[in-house]
Amino acid sequence: MFRFSRRSSITGIAVLAAAVLNQIFLIEPKPVRAAASKRSMTVEARRFFDQGKAQFAAKQYKEAQASFEKACRISSRSDSAQYYLGMAALYAGNNKLFIDCMTKVVVMNKLKNSIIAKNALVNILKYSRLHPYCALNSQEQLCRWDTQRHPVLQICISQGLALPPEYQGKSLNINEIREFRRLFQTGTFARALVREPTFKSYQAQNAVSALRKWDWAAREGLFRYAFTNDPAKADILVLWTPRFRAGGEMEGLTNYFGTNKPGQGKVIIQLNTGGLSESKGNAYAQLMAAHEFGHAFGLGSHSPGADDIMTAKIYYDSNNAHSISENDKAVLRAVYNLEPDNPW
Ligand SMILES: [Zn+2]
């Protein structure tokens, strides 16, 4: 979600928008319990972990690394297992693995709540130029597409379709999410959506260009996607709205319609057909849409880094429109290499 804010320009880069995450998640109690257990080690993982710690203490770092790797393969969401694997890798001379592990620790924790994540970030900043950030959503869950259930994500960038006017650009409450979830499941509703009259076809082209900014992730095999024209079949559906009602002037809004059945979620992105996007041009609109696709792929938080696509405040310079950064990439890679709390 983007919320517009005006600030005087100090450096010549205009502050055009501030973004505030407004993903709405409906998580049933069962996955929450499951999530808690995913974050602790299984008995088997603990055995490898203890073995690794003994090897680490004996300065047998390569052996320790192998043991911690086994622990992480079983319990990828364990902070301790990832952190120790990172430290063993560092001492064994494997810098890339060290950074990858520390990144995972940062990605799966709210920094302010986690001493281990703070330490991991300090390590990363000391040994690399990366500055990864948390990817948990507002319910503190790590959510992403289940690539087993969705070998090819179906993405529909609609030609101007919109939610019924009373729901356009609105932060939906829990009852509305339930209602829409039910409506979307039937298929009839999605196929009966009507075209927003303020939509222009170049805006869909901007959304396509925004999506293409994520093609590196497909090339790396994090997920695959294909276009569909059928909004009912879409896993990610892009709709349009001339206004946002969640407060302030916004550019985009991403809602997740969850279910307690893995692999059956649906993400709805609503993009602006007017206002800032139109006045600031295509590059700006693409940046905004790319940010929303970041949410749609599982980046559930905002980055504190001003140059990241997931920043809460987009600094836009028409001569140098920034795009997806190495930080954004590192975070998304980590997300797709960790077991999610709630797979979509
Ligand atoms: Zn956002």
Q: Which is more confidently placed, 309 or 265?
A: 309
How many angstroms is it from 54 CA to the middle of ligand 1? 43
Q: 210 CA to middle of ligand 1, Å?
A: 14
- Residue 260: which pLDDT band, with cuts at 50, 70 and 90? low
Identify the band that residue 48 occupies on the pLDDT scale cut at 50, 70 and 90: very high
Residue 124 sits at the vertex; the CA angle it makes with 122 and 128, to the nearest 5 degrees, is 130
How far, in Å, from the CA of 315 to the mean position of ligand 1? 14
Counting every residue written for the chain, the total comes to: 344
Which of the four pLDDT bands, split at 50, 70 and 90, describes residue 262? low
Q: Are residues 45 and 170 in the same domain?
A: no
Cα 197 to ligand 1 centroid, rounded to whole Å: 26
Q: How far apart are the first and last CA of the chain?
A: 20
Distance 249 CA to ligand 1 centre (A): 13
* Total of domains in the chain: 2
Give domain status of residue 303, yes or no: yes
Host domain of residue 48: 41-74+78-127
Task: Calculate how far, in angstroms, residue 290's C-alpha sits from the geometric centre of ligand 1.
Answer: 10
25 with 53, same domain: the answer is no
CA atoms within 13 A on the CB side of 162: 22
Q: Separation of 301 CA from ligand 1 center, angstroms? A: 7
Instruction: Indicate if 111 and 153 belong to the same structural domain.
Output: no
- The reply to whether 190 and 263 lie within a common domain is yes
In a domain, 133, yes or no: no
Residues 70 and 190 in one domain: no
The answer to whether residues 175 and 53 belong to one domain is no
Domain-located, residue 203: yes
Q: Does 134 map to a domain?
A: no
CA of 270 from ligand 1 middle (Å) equals 12
* CATH number, position 107: 1.25.40.10
How far is residue 195's CA from residue 193's CA, in Å, rounded to a whole number? Answer: 7
Task: Look at strands 143-144 and 153-157 and give their pairing.
Answer: unpaired
Looking at the structure, tell me whether residues 90 and 159 fall in a common domain.
no
**pLDDT tens digits for range 86-128:** 999 999 999 999 999 999 999 999 999 899 999 999 999 999 9
Q: Which amino acid is at 225?
A: Y
Confidence class of residue 73 from pLDDT cuts 50, 70 and 90?
Answer: very high
CA–centroid distance, residue 225 to ligand 1 (Å): 21
Q: What mean pLDDT value characterizes the chain?
A: 85
d(CA 183, CA 164): 12
151 and 212 fall within a common domain: yes
The yes-or-no verdict on residue 14 having pLDDT over 80 is no
- The CATH number of the domain where 249 resides is what? 3.40.390.10
121 and 193 both lie in a single domain: no
- CA of 35 from ligand 1 middle (Å) equals 24
- Domain co-membership, 211 together with 261: yes
- Does 17 map to a domain? yes
Over residues 167-203, the pLDDT tens digits come to 898 887 778 877 887 888 777 888 889 999 999 999 9
